[in-house]
Amino acid sequence: MSELLQPVIVGAGPAGIRAAGRLVRAGLRPIVLDEGQRAGGQIYRRPLIEDGRSYRSRYGSEAGKARKLHESFEALLPEIDYRPETLVWNVSPPERGNQLDVLSAGGHRQIGFSQLLLCTGATDRVLPFPGWTTSGVYTLGASQTALKAQGCTIGDRVVFMGSGPLLYLVAWQYMKAGARVEAVLDTAPFTSKRHLLPLAVRASRIVGLGLFYGLQLQLAGVRIHYGVRPEMVLGKGQVEGLRFRRRTLMGVASETISCDALAYGFALRPETQLADLAGCRFRFDERDRTWLPERDALGRTSRPDVYVAGDGSGIAGADAAEISGELAAMALLEDRGQASAADAPRLVTARDAILRQRDILESAFPFPDDWFETVPDETTLCRCEEITIAEGRHAIASGAVTEINRLKALSRVGMGRCQGRMCSAAAAELLSGTCGTAADKVGRLRAQAPVKPIPLGFSAGLETEGCS
Amino acid sequence: MSRRISIDVAIIGGGLVGSSAALAIRKAGLSVALIDKGYCGAQASGVNYGGVRRQGRPPEQLPLSQRAHRIWPQLKAMIGIDAEYMRCGHLKLARTEKDFAKLEAYAETVRDYGLGLELIAGSALERRFPWLSAKAVGASLCPEDGHANPRLVAPAFARAAERAGVAVLELTPVRDVVATGNGFGILAGDGVEIRCRQLVNSAGAWSDRFAAQFGEAVPLIRIYPSMVVTEPLPLRLPVSMGEQGGSFYGRQVARGNYVMGGGRGLPLADPDYSRPSVTAASSVMQRAIALFPHLAHAQVIRFWSGTEAEMPDGNPVIGPSETTSGLFHAFGFCGAGFQTAPAVGAVLSELVTEGRSTTPIEAFSIGRFRKVTAETAASL
Ligand SMILES: Cc1cc2nc3c(=O)[nH]c(=O)nc-3n(C[C@H](O)[C@H](O)[C@H](O)COP(=O)(O)OP(=O)(O)OC[C@H]3O[C@@H](n4cnc5c(N)ncnc54)[C@H](O)[C@@H]3O)c2cc1C
Ligand SMILES: Cc1cc2nc3c(=O)[nH]c(=O)nc-3n(C[C@H](O)[C@H](O)[C@H](O)COP(=O)(O)OP(=O)(O)OC[C@H]3O[C@@H](n4cnc5c(N)ncnc54)[C@H](O)[C@@H]3O)c2cc1C
């Protein structure tokens, strides 16, 4: 490890920004890389062009936190080496030293690091159902991004569906923005909401906000249904409505609802491919039904010079991301021989309290693990490669497949543009459901560089810095 | 899971070599176990470039290669799928006069083997292949060479073998193998014991270990060819391409993706896994743009690499062991075993059932390394 190398932080969301702050206070000048144009990450995403909207109208209840985070970042700018619009698409494995491959301004660069902190966040988790690839169907997160970053809505008459805290929040935000919310279709049964009761005592603000969103939606006449399963998107070429099933007192009923856009999602999935390429060990997390890099309480991974923080190390929300960014920075500093910070125990306690609340919150929005029992075979499973569930099932049966990389090899699921970032959650569920095994038994897709597509023409004129 | 199996022939390694051998030997009437440490066709046979190419091979490989050439169009009948096999032609470019002279010399050397090579020089090249943008002095076309989808072939051979009655043991690494006097004893997986009369060593880049166990050390090295694939693009490249004196090769698959290779990746700490090298991938990408400028804005979606066995003289090892009767080796295909493998399976079946091969394989004897290894040992 060369003395000249600086620590590198990937991701300028809540986790990355707080980590950078800690490192700067300890006298370092970290390199901060983010593929976005502006810092802030997902929740505190900033508009590309200032549109004159207030923090209050853009970030609602989180306006104060958003402002603080953005201001902290502005203050850090002279002290850090910040590079926006820089996609990190590869990390060298430990056998090959410590460098990143990045794409910026259309060119290829290699950047060496002394230590690497991955704060890559999360994206929506989606599951396939008939018509989910129709134009006008968005993820919950994307529909919110449209609102935050571009100040526009995905439609005039919108249905919100799925599970997870974002469901009610985004529906409410749309209502406030003037869109007509046709319905909120919660895939979790109403009974799952009883889990919120104990949470109300520990985290009255979260539950209070949730109730507030739900109540305001209902007062405005928005229909809210629980235990919903979608049947199909209506409309050819463009969303015209949704047909869905729900449990009523009379049994299961099928209903249709008309809309011009649908936003749906099932909580989030962490972005972990860089940690995988870096060679970090992974473990299966039952609650999030996904594989996460192993980490200690502060964020050290199994690779001594690589750290993780924020949602990319386990879905826990923005407040936890800020704290975990600080903690990971402390670990990084400790490992450079700087004394451990006095406030570490307090921060660990605060973060753990959020994690406990999060566990309860997640049980109020359970994952619909019976999904593939009812989704018809001709539904698209992998949209990049246009593979149907039937083809996935056929590959599983005819190839005696029990493992996800084998499923990829035999069916092409996860081989397309998104490299499985969007479809592998669904593919893993389909595989474990078909084989009748637990979700962790089917393994995880091995990451390959580039983690996101890069232009073929980028390779002319490689620049390196801090690399031997 | 402890289990005892008694069988005529055991095959270590379910790549395309092992799985095509399994099917052929089973069809010849023997009982067969096909053993793989992972899944059949998940190593070199499943992740290679997919070139089904005879052009460029040394003459001693051509009888074998021609035999394979006759097998490839029969896949549908043999294994139930055609594996996207296409005889679209293999075009080898020469950038300089010197390289073109080499192509001419090669065509002359292999004239009697029936490859049907066509030499195309100067402006004829442009007329024939107007989509070709790179400056080239000439090229050699092998019209009946082509490509196929490696993901599908070996697994389909293994499944066909299974349907024919082969015991296919996947996720079952062979841990130990010994000669028992009248056959072999194998320990594999969690307590699987296999007894067999004859044994095939087709463990790809891991074969040297089994050869050494029978006193036949070989100078096998592992190589990791680097591959790059783009997103699907409009169909434009009708042939599989290579270059004389360059390391670039590329083809466009039916779905539209350009699959391209060149240069070498490197192993990870666990040598079963490798990573393409960014340097190799970048030079493949640069060469691709020089050849096909329309790709400048295409997106690359993935790099990958795979583990292959290379021998110092560029030829594989195929044939009986010289120390142990009943043992047959087939490995070391030097980055070119995808095309020949189905014929290697047929040859192995002949060796196992009749003790001889109808295709000449003398150049591939394991004994050719005995002398070299002994000399090296003596000089130390
Ligand atoms: C679409 C979306 C909407 C959300 N909305 C809400 C909400 O309204 N309320 C709420 O409480 N929570 C919301 N969440 C969750 C919340 O955003 C996260 O909990 C929080 O942002 C986590 O912070 P983080 O720092 O871990 O990651 P993020 O805020 O996600 O930041 C990660 C950053 O890393 C960058 N990055 C990732 N990969 C690379 C790479 N390879 N190269 C370069 N840069 C990279 C990204 O550009 C991003 O800026 C949302 C999440 C998503 C995905
Ligand atoms: C990236 C790449 C590109 C290539 N491109 C081409 C091309 O375009 N054209 C061409 O003709 N050739 C090409 N090749 C070469 C070709 O793929 C190989 O020569 C051929 O597949 C070798 O087949 P095999 O069956 O010997 O080996 P493999 O397919 O590697 O099979 C060996 C098997 O043995 C198993 N094994 C190993 N150890 C054990 C053990 N202890 N117990 C049980 N099983 C074991 C492995 O798991 C493996 O499945 C390429 C190779 C690579 C890697």
From the CA of B11, the nearest ligand is 2
Residue B75 in contact with ligand 2 by CB distance below 6 A: no
Assess whether pLDDT exceeds 60 at residue B240. yes
Q: How far apart are CA A226 and CA B283, in angstroms?
A: 55
Mean pLDDT of all residues in B319-328: 98
When pLDDT is cut at 50, 70 and 90, the band that residue B239 belongs to is: very high
Q: Say if A462 is an interface residue toward chain B (CB within 8 Å).
A: yes
pLDDT on residue A364: 84
CB contact under 8 A, A410 and B302: no
Token couple for A110: 């290699």
pLDDT tens for chain A, 468 residues long, are 444 789 999 999 999 999 999 999 999 999 999 999 999 888 888 888 887 888 888 888 888 999 999 999 999 999 999 999 999 999 999 888 899 999 998 889 999 999 999 999 999 999 999 999 999 999 999 999 998 888 899 999 999 999 988 999 999 999 999 999 999 999 999 888 887 777 777 777 777 788 888 889 999 999 999 999 999 999 989 999 999 999 877 888 899 999 999 999 999 999 999 999 999 999 999 988 999 999 999 999 999 999 999 999 999 999 999 999 999 999 999 999 988 788 889 999 999 999 988 888 888 888 898 888 889 999 999 999 999 999 999 999 988 899 999 999 999 999 999 999 999 999 999 999 999 899 899 999 999 999 999 999 876 656 667 654
Res B1 pLDDT > 90: no
Name the residue among A90, A93, A453 with its Cβ closest to that of B268.
Answer: A93
How far is B49 from B253, CA to CA, in rounded Å?
11
* Subunit contact A457:B230, Cβ cutoff 8 A: no
Residue B308 pLDDT level (bands cut at 50, 70, 90): very high
What does the block give as tokens for A462? 């490689």
Tell me how long chain A is: 468
Asked if B266 and B122 sit in the same domain, the reply is no
What average pLDDT does the segment B266-279 reach? 84
- Label residue A183 left, alpha or beta by phi (over 0 means left) and psi (-120 to 50 means alpha): beta
Examine the domain organization and report whether A105 and A168 are in the same domain: no
Contact B159 A406 (CB under 8 A): no
Closest CA to B179 of B10, B374, B29: B10
* Residue A228 and residue A148 share a domain: yes
Using the mean position of ligand 2's atoms as its centre, give its distance from the Cα of residue B337 in Å: 8
Residues B210 and B330 in one domain: yes
Asked whether B204 and B309 are in contact (CB, 8 A), the reply is yes
Task: At A94, list the tokens.
Answer: 């430990």
Residue with CA closest to ligand 2 atom 37: B203
A236 with A330, same domain: the answer is: no
Name the closest ligand to CA A40.
1
Range of the domain at B97: 90-143
Cβ–Cβ below 8 Å for A450 and B303: yes
Question: Measured between CA atoms, how close is A130 to chain B, in angstroms?
Answer: 24
State whether A450 and B288 contact (CB < 8 Å): no
User: DSSP E strands: which ranges in B151-255?
Assistant: 167-169, 174-179, 184-188, 192-201, 221-223, 225-232, 240-243, 249-252
Q: Are residues B285 and B167 in the same domain?
A: no
Report the pocket of ligand 1 as residue ranges, CB < 6 Å. A 10-16, 33-36, 41-43, 87-88, 119-124, 141, 144-145, 166, 169, 268, 271, 274, 310-312, 317-318, 321, 451
Comparing alpha-carbon positions, the chain A residue that sits nearest to B265 is A96
B13 close to B203: Cβ distance less than 8 angstroms: yes
- The count of structural domains within chain A is 3
Q: For residues B158 and B31, state if they share a domain.
A: yes
Inter-chain contacts counted by CB atoms under 8 A, chains A and B: 88
Contacting residues for B23 by C-beta, under 8 A, at least 6 apart: B78, B79, B157, B160, B161, B164, B166, B345
* Mutation choice for A interface testing from B81, B228, B302 by most A CBs within 10 A: B302
> Do A398 and A418 have their domain in common?
yes
Q: Long-range contacts for B248-251 (Cβ within 8 Å, ≥24 apart)?
A: B248/B284, B248/B287, B248/B288, B248/B291, B249/B49, B249/B51, B250/B288, B250/B291, B251/B49, B251/B50, B251/B51, B251/B88, B251/B147
Closest CA to B12 of B149, B190, B151, B208: B208
Contact state of B302 with A450 under an 8 Å Cβ cutoff: yes
- Show the DSSP H helices in A203-316 as ranges: 204-219, 273-277
Instruction: Kindly determine whether residue B301 and residue A96, on different chains, have CB atoms separated by under 8 Å.
Output: no
Residues B30, B160, single domain; the answer is: yes
| C-alpha–C-alpha distance, residues A130 and B267, integer Å | 42
Enter the DSSP assignment of B86: B
Mutate to test the pocket of ligand 2, among B37, B213, B228, B347 (most ligand atoms within 8 A of CB): B37
Question: In this structure, are strands B257-264 and A306-308 parallel, antiparallel, or unpaired?
Answer: unpaired
B132 and B255 together in one domain:
no
Q: Are A95 and B275 in contact (CB under 8 A)?
A: no
- Chain-centroid distance of CA A125 in Å reads 7
For residue B159, pLDDT beyond 90: yes
Atom of ligand 1 nearest to the CA of A309: 26
| Pairing mode of beta strands A99-104, A107-112 | antiparallel
Q: Is residue A450 situated within a structural domain? A: no
Among A43, A69, A118, which is best to mutate for testing ligand 1, by the most ligand atoms less than 8 A from CB?
A43
User: pTM of the entire structure?
Assistant: 0.94
- Specify whether A107 is located in the same domain as A180: no
Question: What's the complex ipTM?
Answer: 0.91
Chain B hits for A416, Cβ within 8 Å: 231, 301
**Residue A453 and residue B300: Cβ atoms within 8 Å?**
yes
Residue B201 and residue B347 in one domain: yes
Residue of B246, B307, B303, B309 whose CA lies nearest to B276? B303
**Are B351 and B237 part of one and the same domain?**
no
- Check residue A95 and give its pLDDT: 85
pLDDT at A462: 64
Packing angle, helices A404-411 and B150-163, rounded to 10: 100
H or E stretch at A117? strand A116-118
For residue B140, the model assigns a pLDDT of 97
Q: Does A321 reach chain B within 8 Å, measured CB to CB?
A: no
Q: Amino acid identity, residue B244?
A: Q
The residue type found at A52 is: G
Who has greater pLDDT, B296 or B75? B75
Interval between CA B173 and ligand 1 midpoint (Å): 42
Give the closest residue to A408 by CA, choosing from A396, A422, A390: A396
Cα(A207)–Cα(B117) distance, rounded to whole angstroms? 75
What are the chain A neighbours of B257 within 8 Å (beta carbons)?
none
Whether residue A291 is contained in a domain is answered as: yes
Q: Is the CB of B43 under 6 A from ligand 2?
A: yes
User: Could you list the residue range(s) of the whole structural domain that residue A401 is in?
Assistant: 371-442
Look at chain B and report how many structural domains it folds into: 3
Model confidence pLDDT, tens digit, residues B35-72 = 999 999 999 999 999 999 999 999 999 999 999 999 99
Q: Is residue B156 part of a domain?
A: yes
Option in B159, B268, B296 nearest A399 (CB): B159
Could you give the angle at which helices A14-25 and A63-76 cross, rounded to 10 degrees? 40
Quick one: three-class SS letters along B99-138?
HHHHHHHHHHHCHHHCCCCEEEECHHHHHHCCCCCCCCCE
Task: Tell me the residues of chain A between 440 and 459 that have a Cβ less than 8 Å away from chain B.
Answer: 446, 448-450, 453-459
Of A200, A465, A203, A142, nearest to A350 (Cα)? Answer: A203
Rounded Cα gap, residues A47 and B23, in angstroms: 62
In this prediction, residue A468 carries a pLDDT of 44
Distance A404 CA to ligand 2 centre (A): 20
**Nearest CA-CA partner of B20 in B159, B146, B171:** B159
Tokens of B39: 């899944």
Going by the DSSP 8-state scheme, the letter that residue A5 receives in this structure is P
CA distances from A125 to A376, A385, A426, B289 (A): 20, 18, 9, 36
- Reduced to 3 states, what is the DSSP secondary structure of residue A169? helix
The C-alpha torsion from B131 through B132 and B138 to B144, rounded to 10°, is: -60
- Chain B residue with CA closest to A397: the answer is B159
Which of B272, B305, B338 is the last residue in one of the domains?
A: B305
Model confidence over B132-145: pLDDT tens digits?
877 789 999 999 99
Note the pLDDT of residue A197: 78
Rounded Cα gap, residues B137 and A18, in angstroms: 59
- Write down the residue that tokens 């030829």 correspond to: B315
| Closest chain A CA to residue B156 | A399
Q: Would A162 be classed as within a structural domain?
A: yes
Q: Is residue A366 part of a domain?
A: no
Last residue of a domain, one of B115, B143, B171: B143
Determine contact, residues B202/B217, Cβ cutoff 8 Å. no
* B120 pocket-lining for ligand 2 (C-beta < 6 Å): no
Buried b (16+ CB within 10 A) or exposed e, A50-72: eeeeeeeebbeebeebbeebbee
Residue nearest to atom 13 of ligand 1 (CA): A43
Chain A closest-CA separation from residue B86 CA (Å): 19
Question: Nearest residue on chain A to B45, judged by CA atoms?
Answer: A409
Is B30 part of any domain? yes
Please indicate whether residue B14, judged by its CB atom, sits closer than 6 Å to ligand 2. yes
- Same domain for A393 and A276: no
Q: Is A416 on the interface with B (CB under 8 A)?
A: yes
Are residues A250 and A157 both part of a single domain? yes
A464 belongs to a structural domain: no
Bridge partners (DSSP) listed for residue B179: B184
Q: Which two tokens stand for residue A81?
A: 């080496």
Among the three residues B305, B324, B343, which one is the final residue of a domain in this structure? B305
Structure tokens at B269: 């700490």
Same-domain status, A262 and A273: no
Lowest mean pLDDT among A4-13, A23-32, B246-255, B267-276: B267-276
